[in-house]
Chains A and B, each alone.
Chain A
Amino acid sequence: MLASVGAGAAPAFATAGPSVKTQISPDQPSNPADTTAPAQAEDPAERKSAAESPDAAAAPEVARSRSERAELASGGTIWLPFAVPDGTTPQEFTARLSLLAGDDSAQVQVSSERRSLGTVTPADGEITLALSDEDVVDGRVNISFSLPWNTGLVCWVASETQQREQGTRLAITDAAINTAGEATPPETVATFLSPWVEQVEVVTGGDPQLLEAGLSAVAAATHRLGSASSVSLDAPASDTVDPVTQRVIAFEAGSGAAVTGIDTDERGVPRLVVSGAPETLTAAAAALGSAGLPLASAADTEGLAAAPATEPDTALSLSLEDLGTASVSLRGYGVTDGFISVPQDAFGGPVDGYTLHLTGAVSTVDAVTIASAEVLWNDVLVDTLPISADDPRIDRTITIPSSSVRASNGLVVRLTAVAAGGACIDESLLPQVRLDLDARASTVTAHRGQAVSPGFERFPQALGGTLAVATGSDTPSVAELQAAGSVIAALQRVSSRQLDITVESAQQLIDSTKPGLLVGATPDQANALRTPLRLDRFRTLAPSGSTELTVAVDRPYAALMSFESGNRDLLVVGGWAPNGETPETLLVSVADDLAGTDWYTLSGVLRFQSDSDAAPQLLDINAVVPQQAYREDYTWIAWVAIGGLALLLAIMGIATAARRRRAVATRQVEAEAEAADEAAAAGETEPVAGADPLPADATPAAAASSAAPATEAAPAHDAAAEPGTDAGRRSDGS
């Protein structure tokens, strides 16, 4: 995982917690190193999840240890927050530094918010720095790493490669804090899911009537603890026991309102027991992720509940602040980026375009500076902001077309300032260049629609905050429960809001028009839903280099599929084995692996694992030879075609019969008219009784035709009235 470097801003973690907000510091000093900052991951989704500095991206989740990698470059600062469990005192901070480029003796300043912890170099490798109570602020220790420029000169080199060679880059891994003392066990429901909790086991005992509560608890705990947490449903108990970072939430079916109690399980892990009538437990479980949970200031509560919002939050216009960016203030020389994550999910549903409205101001640029400001959307330049001495105001409206919309999007405001002439200049000689956006007045307006192809990328925004879950059978296996929990946790990690979980039967979900999740799908259910991969043996393209073009997959496998069924998007987890039994181990594995996967990195429609695969893999559905069941889905079209052909023949037959009737009528009229003429010629003056001189729908042309002496069967009036008819041609004798 990459992390952004930036200026030495004060940490801005005020909102850290379940939904840590992106912050851009208002006080960042000039930062020439940003020109080379490796923190700007190529993929916006990667950026969003990155542990980035306050000036550039989202703050990392609070934790006691961090396994992800952060990178730091010359001129940059990175902040790593760590939670300190109640009752403990931080003793030391440990991490590993490794040089990526440049000088391995470069001085890295490490500080907490209150004091300097020391100076280290990449050559030190593993570092240990002492901590104390003094470093704790609001239950956290925020540790900063700063790598200043050695020269004090501001340089700008157009080539990123050359610039990187000028500075130093290093990686920070395995960062952790060690604490002393015994952590205070959770004593209230409100503190049960503390920020330092990393693993939660939700237990329902496999009781189907507790499934909805269990799944809701998974969503609630994941929502509260953030993306660094691991939340499971009915999974085997963890082998390693850490009462500080582990929790158990157990549901017990009973009667009456939901009541809670806190104890420890047989391993000594704190356990929250929620019991009551099953229909009350779902609301109680959802309450664990609620913003109002601090009100539950006791271990024993009754009637714990959080009702879902009566109206889903589907605001189509959000300010940058709503999107988690308290401020955007870019300043300094080189390239300085402000990154704002814009997931579709934040708008409560799928989006097929955006309108950006950016307002703010930029400082005056004098003659010794060349500056420009750009707006990039998903790394593509979409606009440039004017930097003019005449008008410091920024007021731009930018349209983002459907083709540029992804599930998770990255908006970057980039300030580039260079010394005129391109030479290295002492930083103190240069005036400040600054660009501020008004995070409240600047907005992103979404346009409802669908911009991405069916597949994993449609989630979580397709859900709109609610998820219907079904299992293949009415009595789901433990494997199905575990798989459902894993998928929900993965979806919740990238959802802007807590998912509202409902459990339905498989048939209800199949018949429904809502998006949802079906776990443990049977082959028949897969066929009914027209899943991309039917749960049967199949053939697929052989791996590259094989002499065989396709290979048969006839070993047990499991698959997670994301696809469009009707006009809704579905997730289906299912498996197949030659003996007809569901391969439960694979079913768990294919979903459980999502715990270490950022949902936004999933692509395509099919995640697959056979019993010969060590881990699930994304399988290109286009590499799968269409299965027989797929071909049979389209048999009805042949019958429709046959019906259409029969309809056309019937129409022709009816039209021909009608034409003949008209021809007969015309002939009769002509005969009668002829008889009348003959009678008139014979001196009779009375018309033939009952004779209709013209058919009701005859045209003047037809009338004229009928009035003319007929030498052969006259054409029908509709044909004779039009040029080019057979009848017309036959009248020419052809």
Chain B
Amino acid sequence: MIQAEAAPGRFRAAWAALDAPATGRRVPGTLIVAAIALIAGTIAAFWSIGTDMQFAYADAQSHLTIARRIFDSKAPGFTQLGTVWLPLPNLLLMPFVAIDWLWATGWAAALLGIVCLVATASASYRIAARIGLGRTARLVLVGLIVTNPSMLYVHTTALTEPVLIAFLTASVAGLASWALSPRELSAGEMMVFSGAPAAGAVLSRYEGWALVASGTLFVIIVAWRRKRSLKHVVKLASAFALWPALGVLWWVSYNFAVYQNPLEFLNGPYSAAALQAPVSESGFLAYKGSVGLTLWAYHWAIIGTVGAVTLAVAALGLIALCARFRLETRALIVWLLATGWAFSLLSLYLGQTHLNNMHTMPTNWWNNRYALVSLTWLAMLCAVWIDSCLRSRRARRLGIAAAVATIVAFAGQLAWSLTDLPGRSAVLAEGAGYLEIKHGNGTDAGARYLGDHYDGGGILMDESAAGNAVLPQIGVPLHEYFNRSTGPLFDEALRDPAGHARWIFYTVADAPSLSSAAVADQVYATLLENPAVLAQYEVVFSEGDIRILRRLDGS
């Protein structure tokens, strides 16, 4: 009886907490939101892994591979982090991928993704609470994040967006806490609650670097408003930027130490710029230098990932934000969440990012997940809109009606998305397309064959070649491979395959148009140059573009 009475009581308390204001560091309701995100993330993970979608993106498998080869490789070590991607997402994956089953099934990434989703949802909720949004608005905010199919799916993969978004949102939440706290927070607290997450973002994706700039500007403005003291401003801005700066410094030092070029990540042969140069030079980045096309391409990506209703309501929320909060600190906090959106637009305009969808030329799905970094901002704007509707005093009924209509529209958008996930989500459409290609060109079957039949003796494989990023799918420990990441060992194995590897896995597919030599299969190229090698092997698998050879001597 007591328990029966306690349950409604707990529910009422939880319900009340979701509307309670923040008090100091405590934001009531955070745990509830975390639990909601945990459930949503877990459901998404089961769906994704159950449908093999967790491995759809080649980059996702590459991240799992990089994280594991740091300790499981013929040439282990932190240099395996490479320079193509910033290191933190891979480092965070390490404890998860250490367990073979988690690595080979993709659950390693999903577990990290769930943690990130919980962090993102919780941080967003805390920001909403701190800027004074009510319960309905907060729940709408959280709902838009944890029910977004694209967002949920990405969080089941090893792509880097989940880590970035989590750190980015956490850093803004820390800044919101500092900026709106009645109590004067110390520089140390700033470093811990804002600077450290910003450093995490910095070491996750380059959008994080933009956050350091916008966050520092935010700190300067708010600190100046508070004390109008240059010393105070410098102290707090430094406190915020110190950890991110150290992160950048570490990354530059790492590049210098490993590649003898501190800007290897920027201009090296495996840098994004180098990989993208042929596309850019050929003129296929139509949005490069075009404001209109940049906005067009990116916002269609937003519609394809975040949703058209969300984007439209966010536009209303932006108007509400400007009218209600003007340039108050609360408004600046919301604007701070727009850092990823602004950075993405700038990257597109400058031709640093490659993004295509059904409304661009070329017309295909490519990198629309970049739009997900805008989700927390857009969801926050939607929450501002809802809150403004419900707080309207002059037209209270109209405001309530508008809020209800908006929520119904969100529900409709979600239901519409769920009826055909790959057809309604650009991120899932791209993933489904990759899956179809891998089914069709023999990659899936080849990976399965090698995983089932591998009996030791080493594998020669160029995992960096387009379509070959399937090492987690194969599931064979990485120290069995001679691949690019093993450096000189790979070169030696290419010179004498039979002397090194019992198995050879390669693709005969042409490297995709507009790609650099970095993604051509070097094993296949070697076999073409030296076909005598084939005499020592038999073809044990041949389907589509994939060939698997096994050494004839049986040893």
Contact = CB atoms under 8 A, between A and B. Distances in A.
A655 B322 contact: yes
Interface string A548-562: 011000000000000
Contact of B283 (A532, A621, A626, A719): A626
B453 interface: no
Interface residues of B, number: 46
A659 B325 CA distance: 11
B393 A697 contact: yes
Given A544-B510, A549-B282, A652-B322, A637 B291 contact: yes
Interface string B358-390: 100111100000000000000000000000000
Contacts of B291: 637-638, 641
Chain A interface size range = 35 or more
Interface centre among B278, B324, B364, B510, by most A CB within 10 Å? B324
A631 B330 contact: no
Interface in A50-100: none
B131 A724 contact: yes
Contacts of A622: 361-364
Interface centre among B324, B326, B329, by most A CB within 10 Å? B326
B180 A724 contact: yes
A647 to B, nearest CB: 8
Interface in B173-192: 180-182, 184
Interface in B376-410: 391, 393-394
Nearest to A624: B361
Nearest to A728: B182
Given A648-B319, A699-B393, A724-B132, A626 B330 contact: no
A631 B290 contact: yes
Given A622-B361, A655-B323, A734 B182 contact: yes
A723 B22 contact: yes
Contacts of A718: 324
A630 B293 CA distance: 9
Contact of A637 (B226, B292, B327): B292
B330 A641 contact: no
Interface in A616-631: 621-626, 630-631
A634 B360 CA distance: 11
Contacts of A647: 319
Interface in B314-368: 318-319, 322-324, 326-330, 358, 361-364
Contacts of A652: 322-323, 326-327
B130 A550 contact: no
Interface in B486-540: 510, 513-514
Contacts of B363: 621-622
Interface in A628-652: 630-631, 634-638, 641, 647-649, 651-652
Contacts of B423: 402-403
B132 A723 contact: yes
A651 B319 contact: yes
Contacts of B420: 401-403
B329 A631 contact: no
Interface centre among A401, A539, A544, A722, by most B CB within 10 Å? A722
A138 interface: no
A621 B364 CA distance: 11
A267 interface: no
A648 B393 contact: no
Contacts of A631: 286, 290, 292-293
Contacts of A635: 290, 292
Nearest to A651: B322
B292 A638 contact: yes
Contacts of A532: 361
A699 B324 CA distance: 16
Interface in A678-734: 697, 699, 718-719, 722-726, 729, 732, 734
Interface centre among A532, A623, A655, A734, by most B CB within 10 Å? A734
B365 to A, nearest CB: 12
A656 interface: yes
A541 interface: yes
A630 B394 CA distance: 47
B281 interface: yes
A638 to B, nearest CB: 4
Given A651-B323, A722-B132, A625 B292 contact: no
A634 B290 contact: yes
B21 interface: yes
Interface string A650-679: 011011100100000000000000000000
Given A634-B296, A648-B322, 6 more contacts: A622-B361, A622-B364, A625-B283, A625-B284, A634-B292, A638-B292
7 contacts: A539-B282, A634-B295, A637-B295, A647-B319, A697-B393, A724-B21, A729-B181
Interface of A: 401-403, 453, 532, 539, 541, 544, 549-550, 621-626, 630-631, 634-638, 641, 647-649, 651-652, 654-656, 659, 697, 699, 718-719, 722-726, 729, 732, 734
Interface of B: 21-22, 130-132, 180-182, 184, 225-226, 278, 281-284, 286, 290-293, 295-296, 318-319, 322-324, 326-330, 358, 361-364, 391, 393-394, 420, 423, 510, 513-514
